[in-house]
Amino acid sequence: MHNLRGIKESLWRAPGQPIVQQAKKLARFLLFSPFFLVAALRHLRFRRFEETTPAYQIRNDTGHGYRMLTYYIDPVVQVAQLGRVGFETWRYSRKPDAASI
pLDDT digits (tens, 9 = 90+) for 26-73: 777 777 677 777 888 888 898 899 999 888 899 988 778 788 899 998
Predicted pLDDT of residue 11: 45
How many whole angstroms separate alpha carbon 38 and alpha carbon 67? 10
Predicted pLDDT of residue 51: 92
Q: Residue 1: pLDDT above 50?
A: yes
Long-range contacts of 92-95 (CB under 8 A, 24+ apart): none
Q: How many CA atoms lie within 13 A of 85 on its CB side?
A: 5
Q: What is the pTM of this model?
A: 0.54
If one compares 7 and 34, the residue with the highest pLDDT of the two is 34
Nearest to 22 by CA among 32, 11, 33, 30: 11
Nearest to 52 by CA among 4, 100, 3, 101: 4
How many whole angstroms separate alpha carbon 101 and alpha carbon 87? 15
pLDDT digits (tens, 9 = 90+) for 71-98: 998 888 888 888 999 998 777 666 666 5
| Count of H-run helices and E-run strands, the chain | 3, 4
